[in-house]
């Protein structure tokens, strides 16, 4: 398979993606975009092929995004691309182009969907956690329902509309947990996140949440909310921060979790969903 990766060797995510491509038997063309930036036509085609908005491709952290005022919603796509051509660091995540599609691969697990054949053995990232994949499941999946019951998480509303649930496993097929979200336009309520006991305390929970948020991002969500009574530390490691209830949109406050399934003492957390 013909594979091209737009790569920054100083980016851990990009190094992980490149390593998995090679582990899968691919010999990708590696373009270091800081040394050899794509021209305008190539960049426009890459972004179009990802299906993403130009603004969503811009990297904020570690780039001149704020100094250049690129958060201004009045800026056109052409102006944003001008900035990327002048400052290629604004890409700063791996983009992989294959006959199966083109993706901005963050988290690095996102590249698994582009592989003709993913490795069937455990593959670890540089940080020591395995690559994981998400599989959509039905709300009445027996393993999922039993797992919720085992950790005393609410499940009486699982079959209501607007909910998406996933099972997560490693490339070798080891089941690591579950998670889901309810979507309300560009907002999602993250819920039903479970890391299997044998995989806790190893950084897998944070990775699972990143893959779950990528599913939400691809569904059009840009802000995540959640209620928790005992997992604040896990979610804060994944970028969530405490939020006042009056800061949440009415759709989130009207959810079953907010109104009757979670106790009034549950902590509300939120974060932007960006790549």
Question: Hey, which residues are catalytic here?
Answer: 11
CA distance 104 to 246: 34
CA distance 35 to 58: 18
- The answer to whether 53 and 75 have CB atoms below 8 angstroms apart is no
Spatial CB neighbours of 155, under 8 Å, sequence gap ≥ 6: 145, 148, 149, 192
Give the pairing type, strands 187-195 and 175-184.
antiparallel
CA distance 274 to 221: 9
- The answer to whether 194 and 179 have CB atoms below 8 angstroms apart is yes
- The answer to whether 12 and 126 have CB atoms below 8 angstroms apart is yes
CA distance 268 to 241: 8
């Amino acid at each position: 398979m013909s594979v091209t990766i737009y790569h920054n060797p100083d980016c851990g995510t990009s190094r992980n993606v490149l390593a998995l491509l090679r582990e899968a038997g691919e010999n990708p063309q590696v373009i270091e975009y800081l040394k050899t930036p794509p021209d305008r036509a190539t960049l426009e085609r890459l972004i179009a092929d990802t299906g993403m908005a130009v603004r969503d491709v811009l990297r904020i952290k570690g780039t001149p995004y704020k100094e250049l005022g690129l958060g201004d919603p009045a800026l056109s796509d052409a102006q944003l691309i001008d900035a990327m051509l002048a400052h290629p660091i604004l890409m700063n995540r791996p983009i992989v182009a294959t006959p199966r599609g083109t993706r901005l691969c963050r988290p690095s697990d996102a590249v698994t969907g582009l592989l003709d054949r993913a490795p069937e053995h455990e593959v670890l990232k540089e940080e020591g956690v395995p690559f994981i994949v998400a599989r959509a499941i039905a709300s009445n999946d027996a393993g999922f329902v039993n797992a919720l019951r085992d950790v005393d998480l609410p499940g009486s509303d699982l079959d209501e509309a607007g909910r998406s649930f996933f099972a997560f496993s490693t490339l070798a097929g080891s089941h690591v947990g579950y998670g889901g979200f309810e979507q309300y336009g560009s907002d999602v309520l993250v819920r039903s996140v479970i890391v299997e006991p044998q995989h806790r305390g190893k950084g897998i929970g944070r990775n699972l949440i990143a893959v779950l948020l990528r599913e939400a991002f691809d569904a059009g969500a840009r802000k995540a909310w959640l209620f928790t009574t005992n997992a604040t530390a896990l979610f804060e490691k994944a970028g969530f921060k405490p939020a006042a209830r009056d800061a949440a949109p009415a759709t989130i406050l009207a959810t079953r979790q907010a109104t009757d399934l979670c106790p009034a003492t549950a902590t509300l957390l939120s974060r932007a969903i960006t790549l």
